[in-house]
Amino acid sequence: MFKKILIANRGEIACRVAATARRMGIATVAVYSDADATAKHVQACDEAVHIGGSAARDSYLRWEKIIAAAQATGAQAVHPGYGFLSENTDFAQACADAGLVFIGPPASAIEAMGLKAASKQLMEQSGVPLVPGYHGADQNPQVLQAAADGIGYPVLIKASAGGGGKGMRVVEQAGNFAAALASCQREAKNSFGNDAVLVEKYVQRPRHIEIQVFADTHGNCVYLFERDCSVQRRHQKVLEEAPAPGMSEALRQRMGAAAVAAARAVHYVGAGTVEFIVEQSAYDQPESMQFFFMEMNTRLQVEHPVTEAITGLDLVEWQLRVASGEPLPLQQADLRISGHAIEARICAESPDQDFLPATGSMAVYALPAHSSFARGAVRVDSGVRQGDAISPFYDSMVAKLIVHGATRQEALARMDAALAQTHIVGLKTNVQFLRHVVRSESFAKARLDTGLIAREAAQLFHQETVPLRLAIAAWVAQVLHTQAKAASAVSNAWQDPWAATDAWQSHAPMRRVFDLDADGQAHSAVLTRGGGGSLHLQCAGVDSAFAYATLPEGGMEVMLGGQRHTAHVYLQGSQVHVFSPQGARQFQAIDRLAHAAVAPADLGRLTAPMPGKLLSFAVKAGDTVRQGQALAVMEAMKMEHQIVAPADGCVQELLFAPGDQVSEGAELLRMQAGAMTS
């Protein structure tokens, strides 16, 4: 077994690998960029080496620096994690040439499966069913357009060297193909250094089911069952679960055998995932499912914890043992499924704004209590801590929340409860969106396909699950508690009565007004204190007795209208963040003395919604535009984002050039709103 390994990655996967290595008595070396100098993964390892600038291309993609760091620290092997260099043939070969063990498959296997087109040709030769499509080497746009026309729309354009939804577009009609192709090729070039694409028939009502495989150097190869990853946004996974709901044992065995055959075809070693698109004629008819090979990921997957949860195994330990030359710890007949597991990817993004990535510092980062890295009721894999900043340089994922239950229903309930205990303040996240998905009828009843989010959009987006009256009552309770606590701390000192903030008055009942702005609407809550200290609250349509108390585990208990509620309230400047078992809600507290009227938004300014690179403008000075028309394309967190006109108008001036880095809020162009010419 290795004595020391270098982890060529960052974030939660680097922390995850370090945890298993520590348990096995293996020393670890971290690498870090300028942006990650104080990151959690740096402190999780025994040593750390700085390898370059904040951008991935200046650090985590510089494999020559990573190899030099491994050699300088005496590491015997390199674990690539996932993303970055994990599926880079040159890196795997360079490790071998430098005398380092690459904890993954041989470079030849990565090369064979790394290009989607080539791997599909290999699978076709092996008899694995494929979705109709074009996987050829000729990348002439006219050839690709003709192939798409011949296949029939809708079609899916996919980066041949890609993954994670990058360089992928669904094209509904022929007239949109050229623009979608150009965007795919540009994104693929930026993400993978290769702009080759393939074109496939877009399968209707598809499920994304993948098989975890593992092979050693002794000729053994097994499959560790399947994961359903059908719930996706922008072709990126949102929720994953194992085993796949509705999977028959016969289909599981057929898909498992096909996955093992695929691995053996390229002499695979280590952990890998064979991904299939499964077509279904009906949600409740598993016998109607047909599977088609999609691709093989030659690395550990983000969603590997759900497989660990249902098998009780540590897949990173298996990776280390196989890479050191040991045989697989178990054979196929020894493997069993126990219970059900679900994973939710918590990301810094705004689902209600087309999942626009978010950046910022996490003023509050509260998570549910979690168990060990293997099987357990609740598990959290995270690479950040409270106070850490989410930067624009890397992926938007903050953490992974994994739950395990005896049944799928139990796991669903546990996931909802765990998400309710996840409180993040300081940047936008998808936590509440995930709760909406978990609670949706389609997900609860396992009516799964990759179109679930679009189908359930009315219930998933722009939803407020916490009644405003409850949010206001919890806020009032928190303010009263905070002021009482502050007063108690100085109770032995003289206090200026004119500086008091408790609304005390010498006659008549105490009356105090709390002003706020919720969703652009002004509201007021009126709190009165009657005889004997009883409280009464009038707000948001409620006029009732009011009482509150603090809870031993934190948070507030509120009695309003004869009902008991619990909530946690966090104040960030004037922003109030309320979390309850029902969901979360934000609004702005208004100080009457400090509040001034805010000028209406200047529709003549178009600003960047997030930090990133400006890729292109679709207009020039003097052009007239319509509301919603595409004006520019930005790249942030490895994804492209379209910037559209907020109103009709005329473009006056472009303030940046393609390729420029822009900060959040930077003015991209000026336009005269409403100025349209005939």
Residue 411's Cβ-count burial label (10 Å; 0-12, 13-18, 19+) is buried
Residues marked active site are found at 299
Q: What is the greatest pairwise CA distance in the chain?
A: 91
Q: For residue 227, with 0-12 CB atoms within 10 Å meaning exposed, 13-18 middle and 19 or more buried, which class applies?
A: buried
Residues near 94 by beta carbon (within 8 Å), at least 6 away in sequence: 63, 64, 67
Helix or strand (DSSP H, E) at 606: strand 605-607
The pairing of beta strand 27-33 with beta strand 4-7: parallel
CA–CA dist 211, 330 (Å, integer): 17
Q: What's the rounded Cα separation, in Å, for the pair 234 and 547?
A: 45
Answer whether 17's CB lies under 8 Å from 40's CB: no
Which residues, in sequence order, are bridge partners of residue 423? Answer: 366
Structure tokens at 287: 């016998």
CA 40 to each of CA 32, 45, 77, 139, 213: distance values in angstroms, whole numbers, following the listed order: 10, 9, 22, 43, 30
Please give the radius of gyration of the chain, using alpha carbons only, rounded to the nearest integer: 27
DSSP class per residue in 132-166: SEE--S---HHHHHHHHHHH-SSEEEEETT--TTT
The CA-atom distances, in angstroms, between 280 and each of 203, 277, 284 are: 10, 10, 9
Could you report how far apart the first and last alpha carbons of the chain are, in Å? Answer: 75
Q: Which helix (H) or strand (E) holds 70?
A: helix 63-73
Question: Encoding tokens for residue 497?
Answer: 């009565």
